[in-house]
């Protein structure tokens, strides 16, 4: 049975529909990310779950209980904000204790729980400091401890890492995931950073224009994107434009290169334009090691990035960019060289818009 | 050191001649007797009943108008910053506060006389429409209460001007974080908002106190010399030496500086403290 | 949150009532001079009073002089501090805030004691001397507002780079100040100027104690002797102050550079 059920959620601000037809079932203990660009509605959905926005239509159920019209302080949810939102007039310990104090938990138990939380975030020595004395990363960890102290049933994180430095971000996201696993708490994580979503989540809801374009595991989202938006937002993508030669056999022409996809192209006719997409890691240089190149072109850019060499090949109107691991014993190809590109036709995504 | 400081020489000269030296003259003069020798007798003489009474009235009026000004100012500022009012209300309110806070003085006294005086508009409306004769009930514009009421006209706007940035600094996320942790509205105000705001509130109170203590024109125009607050006393003393002791005038002025100085010092200290928390 | 909104409107409505009633009351009272009907008799009486014309003119001229001297004093100082003497900034700011701490009555008391006929600078010995003294007193009163307005205006433009660019093109200090800095802080200066005007027109204490024929003491004198004319005067004074503030708003809105206003 799903722990968190969002059914047909919709939110209008005046005449603007900011969230539409949003459906999601989250299992207990699952970590789900809402991923999308700013303005896609992901934060609005989160705020509806928290109770700060009232849905125009639809329902929200937590643990079987319909919370759609409950006030935020009645929902038993923990939340971490992008701007930390620690209370400046209280010490770290007092901040963490706040939810317990409001719930009139006896003092001894409060002290015990606070100590436990500070140990969890590995900052027990900062108990008596004030927020203005802490770094951004420390403040956010305290915010997490504060949210978790009352043992809520659901944890919401609203772009918690966006305000932090890159290095702190990476370290903290691993910590958050670890803590979440240890506690087994159902979690929703909002972010615009696809690397965060991909590395942390059990499932991702990719959002676009107020709607969830696709909900699935990171593997699915990345390798089998359902829409062009998902394909281009998550990871990088080479988009090649050509025309259909034979819709039955799925043969297409890209800049004079004939490529047989081996699957029928439904709804396409002879001569119609078509766009395909290819992940960079799916392509490689064909240099006579048995694989026949599927496309030929000329190398226009070689960027040596250390462990990886990024190569750009121009086919004509289109160009493909892909990475190759550096190998100490073979030098990178030279700019201007003619080059063959090979890839598996199964890896080609046909874009349908 | 370079000669760059010469660039602000005119300013330094001006401040010296027209701000610092005159003030120092008063301060020093309050410790001198008629021969120029150092003495504390002027200060001691301040502690005579009539002068102490004047200070006490001044302090009471300043406390009253500062407290009421803070309270009303806070409620109004809360209303348009955090209270869910439409955004277009803010700008006119702030502009009006800017005007009204400078609007002490003679015209203000006239305005209140015309409104709350014996034949003032509100007095007459209350008498003729509601049957309430406020003067029969003991209200008198030319009194402690009346002066406080009049002072509120520039104290409340000043409070609004100072408190607006403080209330602006109350981040929405604090309210939301408190709510999601289970706190009701009252608990939020008691445990988070007021503790954060009290330095600003107290600082505003101090500033309003100083502002009221030094105000002369309104009181003079309203009550003449009948209400003996310190500025009026000093005014009369400067005009015509009513205290029969010129150096007492110095001491009186010095006393004023001490009071307003302390009040302003408190304000500055509290403002620095509150700014540290709300970065 | 809905109940909050009701309270908010209530507080604001009550506040507006408190502030608007005296204005209405004054207006109403000022029109009651002719028995039994509303008229502008009080205004006619006031405006035709030669003492009104004299004192009003005096105060207007004083205000203009104060503004000019104030600008000439504050703009170069604020500019110089920002450019060359940043470490002096707290000190200078402290001085500009002193007039808010030291009551004006104390300052003018100091003037009388310091610059009377038996001192080294006998300004009070002559009418013109006293006028100059009063004007400097007004500059002191306006100093906090003028300085803050100009300083905020300067903060919005990159003073250092502009100066260096001008210098590399051969400009001297006066040129830089007059043709580059001043135009760019014009809006801030105007705000300060209008505020100064409002302050000077209504000022009472300094003018009264220095016995100068200014508008403030005239108003007070009339208030002691007449009934309806003072109300008319108050309405005129309100009107002028509102006009000044309105002009500040207008000027701020037309500025391309974000600036202080208040």
pTM of the model: 0.78
Range with top average pLDDT, A75-89, C15-29, C151-165:
A75-89
Flag if A77 and B180 touch (Cβ within 8 Å). Answer: yes
Tens-digit pLDDT profile for residues A296-322:
889 998 988 888 888 888 888 888 888
Q: Is the pLDDT of residue C258 over 50?
A: no
Distance from CA of B185 to the nearest CA of A (A): 10
Contacts of A82 (CB under 8 A, 6+ apart): A158, A159, A160, A162, A163
Residue C98 to residue C90: CA distance in whole angstroms: 12
pLDDT on residue A87? 92
Is residue C13 within 8 A of residue C202, CB to CB? The reply is: no
Structure-token match 């700060």, residue found: A52
pLDDT on residue A37? 92
pLDDT on residue A236? 80
Structure-token match 């008629």, residue found: B34
Which of A27-31, A307-311, B93-97, C212-216 shows the lowest per-residue confidence on average (mean pLDDT)? B93-97
Contacts of A229 (CB under 8 A, 6+ apart): A206, A208, A213
Sign of the torsion formed by the C-alpha atoms of A240, A246, A251 and A253: negative
Flag if B180 and A71 touch (Cβ within 8 Å). Answer: no
Is residue C147 within 8 A of residue C259, CB to CB? The reply is: no
- B8 touches C: beta carbon within 8 Å: yes
Which among C112, C121, C233 has CB closest to B238?
Answer: C112
Residue of C nearest to B109 (CA): C234
Residue C233 to residue C30: CA distance in whole angstroms: 8
Q: Do chains B and A touch (3 or more CB pairs under 8 A)?
A: yes
Residue B176 with chain A: CB contacts under 8 Å:
50, 52, 72, 79, 81, 85
Which of B:239-258 have CB within 8 Å of C?
239, 249, 253, 256-257
Mean pLDDT of chain A: 89
- B257 touches A: beta carbon within 8 Å: no
pLDDT on residue C135? 93
Q: Is the pLDDT of residue C7 over 90?
A: no
pLDDT on residue A328? 86
pLDDT on residue C44? 83
For residue A325, CA distances in Å to A235, A330, C97 come to 18, 10, 66
* Angle, vertex CA A230, rays to CA A227 and CA A234, nearest 5: 155
Phi, psi angle pair for C248, to nearest 5°: -60, -45
pLDDT on residue C24? 85
pLDDT on residue A282? 83
**Neighbour tally for B267: CB within 10 Å:** 23
In chain B, which residues have pLDDT < 50?
none
Q: Is the pLDDT of residue A253 over 60?
A: yes
Distance from CA of B150 to the nearest CA of A (A): 36
pLDDT on residue A142? 95
Is residue B69 within 8 A of residue B159, CB to CB? The reply is: yes
Which stretches of chain A are assigned E, i.e. beta strand? Answer: 4-13, 16-26, 31-35, 57-62, 65-66, 77-80, 154-158, 186-191, 203-208, 211-216, 238-246, 251-254, 257-260, 273-278, 283-285, 295-304, 308-314, 319-325, 338-343, 349-351
pLDDT on residue C261? 41
pLDDT on residue A1? 65
Flag if A81 and B183 touch (Cβ within 8 Å). Answer: no
Strands A308-314 and A295-304: antiparallel
Mean pLDDT for the stretch of residues A58-66: 92
Mean pLDDT for the stretch of residues A57-66: 92
Distance from CA of C83 to the nearest CA of B (A): 10
Token pair for residue A283? 């392509």
Mean pLDDT of chain C: 84
Residue of B nearest to A146 (CA): B181
Determine the CATH number of domain B22-274: 1.10.3720.10
Q: Give the helix ranges, DSSP H, for chain A.
A: 42-50, 92-102, 107-120, 136-148, 166-183, 194-200, 218-223, 228-233
Chain A residues contacting B via beta carbons under 8 Å: 50-52, 71-73, 75, 77-79, 81, 83-85, 87-90, 98-99, 101-103, 130, 132, 143, 146-147, 150
Residue A73 with chain B: CB contacts under 8 Å:
179-184
Residue B276 with chain A: CB contacts under 8 Å:
132
State CA C227 to chain mean position distance.
28
Flag if B4 and C205 touch (Cβ within 8 Å). Answer: no
For residue C234, CA distances in Å to A23, A343, C7, C16, C203 come to 66, 88, 33, 19, 13
- B19 touches C: beta carbon within 8 Å: yes
3-state secondary structure of A353: coil
Which of A172-181, B18-27, B224-233, C167-176 shows the lowest per-residue confidence on average (mean pLDDT)? B224-233
pLDDT on residue A227? 80
Kindly indicate the confidence band of residue C194, based on its pLDDT and cuts at 50, 70 and 90: confident
Residue C197 to residue C182: CA distance in whole angstroms: 19
* Angle, vertex CA A46, rays to CA A9 and CA A221, nearest 5: 80
Write the burial class of residue B21 (CB in 10 Å: 0-12 exposed, 13-18 middle, 19+ buried).
middle
Kindly indicate the confidence band of residue A151, based on its pLDDT and cuts at 50, 70 and 90: very high
Tens-digit pLDDT profile for residues B192-202:
999 888 888 88
Kindly indicate the confidence band of residue A290, based on its pLDDT and cuts at 50, 70 and 90: low
ipTM: 0.81
Residue B72 with chain C: CB contacts under 8 Å:
15
Flag if C241 and B4 touch (Cβ within 8 Å). Answer: no
Mean pLDDT for the stretch of residues A270-294: 79
- Domains of chain C with bracketed CATH: 49-253 (1.10.3720.10)
Which of B:137-176 have CB within 8 Å of A?
171, 173-174, 176
Residue B279 with chain A: CB contacts under 8 Å:
132
Residue A101 with chain B: CB contacts under 8 Å:
191
Is residue A324 within 8 A of residue A263, CB to CB? The reply is: no
Residue B205 to residue B208: CA distance in whole angstroms: 5
Phi, psi angle pair for B12, to nearest 5°: -60, -45
Tens-digit pLDDT profile for residues A193-246:
988 999 999 999 999 999 999 999 999 998 888 887 888 888 888 888 888 888
Residue C72 to residue C157: CA distance in whole angstroms: 19
- Percentage of the residues of chain A whose pLDDT score is greater than 90: 51
Tens-digit pLDDT profile for residues C85-131:
888 888 888 888 888 888 889 999 989 888 887 777 777 778 888 88
């Amino acid at each position: 049975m799903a722990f968190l059920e969002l059914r047909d959620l919709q939110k209008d601000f005046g005449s603007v529909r900011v969230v539409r037809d949003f459906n999601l079932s989250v299992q207990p203990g699952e970590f789900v990310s809402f991923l999308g660009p700013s303005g896609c509605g992901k934060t609005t959905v989160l705020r509806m779950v928290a109770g700060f926005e009232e849905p125009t239509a639809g329902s929200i159920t937590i643990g079987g209980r319909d919370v759609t019209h409950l006030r935020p302080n009645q929902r038993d949810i923990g939340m971490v904000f992008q701007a930390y939102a620690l209370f400046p007039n209280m010490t770290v310990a007092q901040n963490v204790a706040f939810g317990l104090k409001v719930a009139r938990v006896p003092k001894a138990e409060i002290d015990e729980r606070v100590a436990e939380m500070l140990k969890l975030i590995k900052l027990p020595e900062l108990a008596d400091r004030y927020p203005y004395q802490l770094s951004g990363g420390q403040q956010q960890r305290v915010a997490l401890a504060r949210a978790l102290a009352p043992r809520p049933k659901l944890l919401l994180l609203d772009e918690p890492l966006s305000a932090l430095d890159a290095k702190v971000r990476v370290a903290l996201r691993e910590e958050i995931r670890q803590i979440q696993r240890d506690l087994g708490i159902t979690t929703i994580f909002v972010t615009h950073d696809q690397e965060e979503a991909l590395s942390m989540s059990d499932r991702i809801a990719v959002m676009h224009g107020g709607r969830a374009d696709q909900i699935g595991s990171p593997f699915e989202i990345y390798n089998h994107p359902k829409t062009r938006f998902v394909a281009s937002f998550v990871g990088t993508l080479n988009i090649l434009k050509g025309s259909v030669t034979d819709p039955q056999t799925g043969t297409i022409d890209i800049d004079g290169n004939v490529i047989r996809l081996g699957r029928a192209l439904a709804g396409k006719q002879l001569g119609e334009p078509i766009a395909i997409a290819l992940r960079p890691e799916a392509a490689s240089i064909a240099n006579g090691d048995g694989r026949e190149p599927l496309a030929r072109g000329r190398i226009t850019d070689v960027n040596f990035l250390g462990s990886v060499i990024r190569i750009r090949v121009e086919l004509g109107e289109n160009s493909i960019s892909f990475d190759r691991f550096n190998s100490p014993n073979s030098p990178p190809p030279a700019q201007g060289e003619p080059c063959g590109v090979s890839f598996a036709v199964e890896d080609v995504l046909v874009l349908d818009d | 050191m370079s000669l760059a400081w010469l660039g602000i020489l005119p300013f330094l000269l001006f401040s010296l001649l027209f701000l610092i030296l005159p003030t120092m003259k008063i301060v020093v003069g309050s410790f001198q007797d008629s021969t120029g020798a150092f003495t504390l007798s002027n200060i001691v003489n301040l502690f005579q009943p009539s002068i102490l009474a004047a200070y006490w009235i001044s302090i009471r009026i300043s406390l009253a108008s500062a407290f009421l000004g803070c309270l009303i100012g806070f409620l109004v500022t809360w209303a348009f910053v955090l209270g869910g009012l439409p955004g277009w209300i803010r700008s006119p309110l702030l502009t009006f506060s800017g005007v009204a806070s400078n609007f002490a003085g003679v015209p203000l006294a006239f305005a209140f006389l015309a409104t709350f005086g014996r034949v003032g508009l509100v007095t007459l409306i209350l008498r003729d429409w509601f049957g309430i004769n406020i003067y029969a009930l003991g209200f008198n514009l030319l009194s402690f209460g009346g002066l406080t009421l009049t002072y509120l006209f520039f104290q409340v706007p000043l409070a609004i001007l100072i408190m607006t940035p403080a209330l602006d600094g109350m981040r929405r996320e604090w309210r939301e974080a408190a709510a999601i942790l289970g706190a009701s509205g009252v608990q939020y105000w008691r445990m988070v908002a007021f503790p954060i705001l009290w330095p600003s509130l107290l600082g505003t109170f101090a500033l309003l106190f100083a502002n009221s203590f030094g105000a002369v024109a309104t009181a003079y125009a309203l009550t003449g010399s009948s209400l003996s607050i310190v500025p009026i006393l000093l005014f009369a003393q400067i005009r015509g030496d009513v205290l029969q002791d010129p150096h007492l005038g110095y001491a009186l002025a010095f006393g004023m500086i001490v009071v307003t100085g302390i009040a302003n010092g408190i304000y500055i200290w509290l403002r620095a403290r509150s700014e540290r928390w709300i970065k | 949150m809905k109940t909050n909104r009701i309270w908010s409107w209530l507080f604001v409505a009550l506040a507006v009532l408190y502030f608007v009633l005296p204005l209405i009351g004054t207006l109403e009272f000022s029109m009651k001079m002719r028995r039994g009907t509303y008229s502008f008799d009080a205004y006619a009486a006031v405006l035709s009073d030669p003492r009104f014309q004299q004192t009003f003119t005096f105060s207007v001229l004083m205000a203009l002089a104060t503004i000019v001297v104030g600008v000439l004093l504050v703009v170069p100082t604020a500019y110089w501090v920002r450019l060359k003497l940043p470490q002096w900034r707290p000190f200078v700011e402290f001085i500009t805030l002193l007039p808010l701490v030291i009551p004006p009555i104390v300052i003018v008391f100091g003037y009388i004691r310091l610059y009377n006929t038996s001192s080294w600078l006998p300004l009070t010995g002559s009418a013109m001397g006293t006028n100059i003294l009063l004007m400097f007193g007004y500059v002191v009163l306006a100093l906090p507002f003028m300085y803050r307005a100009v300083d905020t205006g300067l903060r919005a433009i990159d003073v250092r780079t502009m100066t260096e660019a001008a210098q590399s093109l051969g400009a001297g200090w006066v040129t830089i100040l007059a043709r580059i800095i001043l135009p760019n802080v014009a809006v801030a200066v105007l705000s300060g100027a209008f505020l100064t005007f409002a302050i000077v027109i209504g000022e009472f204490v300094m003018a009264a104690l220095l016995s100068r024929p200014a508008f403030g003491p005239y108003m007070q004198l009339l208030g002691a002797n007449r009934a309806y004319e003072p109300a008319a005067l108050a309405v005129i004074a309100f009107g002028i102050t509102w006009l000044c503030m309105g002009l500040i708003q207008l000027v701020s809105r037309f500025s391309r550079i974000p600036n202080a206003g208040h």
